[in-house]
Structure 1
């Protein structure tokens, strides 16, 4: 007996094709994310807009795009309010913090990843556990220690706590990156007569460059923007960083909101440019450290 062909599915009961389902899922996820992105970006765009307006136009409100755009607000904020000196101070503190962080914790990450010594695993776990300790809980001990060391109120009194505060995350990322380096490369260098320092500098550091750049970014951005310890430590206006300069603008009796927005733009532009320039290495560094 010949079998009859199966009836075709009705139009109403047919399932949508896989491509249509994927498009529908992307739209369902993409629309809320796009709306959230617009809401998040709006204050930043308003800050950028206000930096190119005069005080009257900012107070009056109105459109996001300036009606009479001007560079006078930026130049006035940069020149008259000593922002160039604040910029140099922030650059000095951030650069010293990044350099010391890379030097110290690259060596520490190499030791945790490659070398064998008693208590290595427990010490590494201790560093990772420090990630969950809020920095504000050690603020008073840091101030007292800096006072006893004679560095309170100086830029070095900012750099040392910043370097210490980056230890947990830096050690975790760099240890993971160094563990991802093939063991055969180390063994080959050892056979050729290379010492530990040579293997560290010529084998592991070049291969861990994305992780090093990631650590540098994760150190530079919060150091550049840091306010609490800087506010508590520094009393000399000549040593102020950009965050304190920006706070001075907002603390005026009659704040000029266009200058305040221009100051905020000056603060964030270097961070944005730095991240955009190193974004590829940042993503690769995070992926490599997680795999390691």
Structure 2
């Protein structure tokens, strides 16, 4: 019986393998993928060309930019970039942007990590209603509250200062930050908190030693989603700041554009100075960014 069963078993195994082998793909599916690839490639070219032109113009003279021509500079020069950085106060604008962005990110993480922990873990009266109110703020356009913010800053003596920018930026990130942190903390097993409570750990110790380390991808995601809009913010900054010594990079770029005879190579160099830090930051932290979004959605 054993000798007879072995060939049968072998035959069935070969049949199963043949059934599992993928057959030839239909021509329609291959054609569909080719069309999608071509469309995506075309979209990528259209999207990347302005950026490549900006980089190219940064290393050209004003005459070469106005004349037009090839995307690759004929005589590449770093003089435009150096001139924009040193002689047009862009170093001061860069430091101001770093200062405003850093304060905004630190305050956002400190405030809304604690708020997300409270909504996800703690039980208190009105928790659901308060959380829904935060979520409703996602649908409120920021421009509608700009005038009240400016009036309030003026009353508090903050108008024209960097702190007058930081506080509205922190407030504006509240809905999305609370949503992401709440989802990340909900994904952490509650048994860890119960075990820590049994061991005598305080609520603050549980928050800082268990929940914050385990939610690092979400924290980095919130930091990125806060840093990038803050770094690029123009409208509120334009309304709030009047002293050139407090200008951030977007306002510095606007001063170049408002010259009677715009130097397009200087404009492109200024734009490159603004864009490069954001790109590098995202490339360095993108794996945490994706993990943070996935974890928040699952939570």
- Relative to the length of structure 1, the TM-score reads 0.93
Distance 1:216 1:148 in 2: 30
* Alignment map for 1:77-116 (pairs within 5 Å): 77-116=84-123
Distance 1:75 1:221 in 2: 24
Specify the alignment match of 2:267 in structure 1: 260
The reply to whether residue 278 of structure 1 matches residue 259 of structure 2 is no
Secondary structure in 1 matching 2:74: coil
Per-residue deviation, 1:190:
1.2
Segments of 5+ residues of structure 2 without an aligned counterpart are 1-22
CA RMSD of aligned residues (A): 1.1
Per-residue deviation, 1:189:
1.0
Per-residue deviation, 1:27:
1.4
Specify the alignment match of 2:45 in structure 1: 38
- Relative to the length of structure 2, the TM-score reads 0.91
Q: 2:236 aligns with which of 220, 229, 235?
A: 229
Distance 2:93 2:216 in 1: 31
* Alignment map for 1:160-239 (pairs within 5 Å): 160-239=167-246
Per-residue deviation, 1:28:
2.0
The reply to whether residue 130 of structure 1 matches residue 137 of structure 2 is yes
1:221-266 Cα distance to aligned partner (Å, 9 max, x none): 0000000000000000000000000000000000000000000000
Per-residue deviation, 1:17:
2.6
The reply to whether residue 26 of structure 1 matches residue 40 of structure 2 is no
Secondary structure in 1 matching 2:261: coil
Per-residue deviation, 1:20:
5.2
Segments of 5+ residues of structure 1 without an aligned counterpart are 1-15
Q: 2:66 aligns with which of 52, 59, 71?
A: 59
